Amino acid sequence: MQRKGKLETGKAAPQRRSRTRAAQAGPESRRSSDCAQARRQAPAEVPPLPDAGQWAGFLAHELRQPLSVIGNVVAGLLASPAADRAVTRNLRLIQQQTELAGRTLANLVQYARAGRPRRAALDLGAATARCVAGVRKPRSIRCRLSVPRPLAPALADAGHVECILSNLIRNAVESIRGPGVVSLTVRAGGRQLRVQVADTGCGVPSGLREKIFEQDFTTKSGGTGLGLALCRQLAEANGGTVRLQRRRGQGSTFELRLPMACEPV
């Protein structure tokens, strides 16, 4: 009987030693064990979220189609001789706001992707002409374009430049109440190319000369406050500038400056 008791005592001894070692190991060892267990139980890594440019592109892609459908339906209704004046006025308002939403989406995408220009030699005169043709203008407003030849190409992202010029031309047109003129002049100066966009509109108050380039600031009802902020960001991303020049009398003059490439075009 005594031998059996001694034998049972001997078997229990390793368990006591194991508990003693665990107690002596302290909190550091227990934390290491907990971390290892957590790593084994952790789920697979979550893929990285899309960047701002990708999100903006996705948003624009999803919204362009319904905006296009609305625009087409409104255009069809406006062409109908059955619409009375009140209906026509409301349809034109819908058309204007639909176009504004489309421009806002385009600006949003460009703003989010402004840090990634693809710079190459660009015929700035031809790019300016495309922008003049692409901006909707009432018949009472004329656009004049002056481009000297030969002209060295600019070194810039074509999409960025056309976005800048379209915004500047559209702002010029919208600043004019009644008949007026928007004059565009392309010229070389030093190692830069310059495009001046001058209008006979309402002008910019002297106290707002720099503020108009701030994001979310607008003087237009229904404006987004993205246009000129986007112009400045895109110009700087391409090594250029956009400035409001001082002008006596009526209207405003904005100037886009871009670095020159090399050979004339």
Sign of CA dihedral 106, 96, 225, 229: positive
Going by pLDDT thresholds of 50, 70 and 90, the confidence category of residue 141 is: very high
82 and 213 fall within a common domain: no
In terms of pLDDT, which residue wins out, 255 or 57? 255
| Residue 102 within any structural domain of the chain | yes
pLDDT at 222: 53
d(CA 188, CA 243): 16
* Residue that is last in its domain, among 112, 142, 164: 112
Domain boundary among 78, 94, 112: 112
Burial category of 153 from C-beta neighbours within 10 Å (exposed 0-12, middle 13-18, buried 19 and up): buried
Which pTM value belongs to this model? 0.63
- pLDDT value, residue 55: 63
Compute the distance between CA of residue 112 and CA of residue 265 in angstroms, rounded to an integer.
31
Distant-in-sequence, close-in-space partners of 128: CB < 8 Å, separation ≥ 6:
145, 147, 165, 184, 186, 195
Same domain, yes or no: 252 and 131:
yes
Q: Which residue segment(s) compose the domain that 100 sits in?
A: 52-112
Instruction: Give the total number of structural domains in the chain.
Output: 2
Query: pLDDT at position 48, please?
Result: 53
- Whether 252 maps to a domain, the answer reads yes
Q: Using the predicted structure, report yes or no on whether residue 5 has a pLDDT greater than 50.
A: no
What are 180-238's pLDDT values in tens digits?
Answer: 999 999 999 889 999 999 999 988 887 787 788 786 666 655 555 567 888 998 999 99
Report how far residue 125's alpha carbon sits from residue 210's, in angstroms, rounded to the nearest whole number: 27
- Residue entry with tokens 């056309």: 162
User: Is it the case that residue 9 has pLDDT exceeding 60?
Assistant: no
Measured in degrees and rounded to the nearest 5, phi and psi for residue 244 equal -95, 120
pLDDT tens digits, 14-44:
555 545 554 455 555 555 565 555 455 544 4
Instruction: Report cis status (omega within 30 of 0) of the bond before 150.
Output: yes
pLDDT digits (tens, 9 = 90+) for 156-185: 999 899 989 999 999 999 999 999 999 999
CATH label of the domain that carries residue 188: 3.30.565.10
What phi and psi values does residue 19 have, to the nearest 5 degrees?
Answer: -65, -35
Q: What is the C-alpha R_g of the chain?
A: 33
Question: Nearest Cα to 226, choosing from 240, 212, 236?
Answer: 212
Alpha helices in the chain (DSSP H): 2-41, 52-78, 85-112, 124-134, 158-174, 227-237
Is residue 130 included in any domain, yes or no?
yes
75 and 176 in one domain?
no
Which of residues 112, 131, 160 is at a domain's end?
112
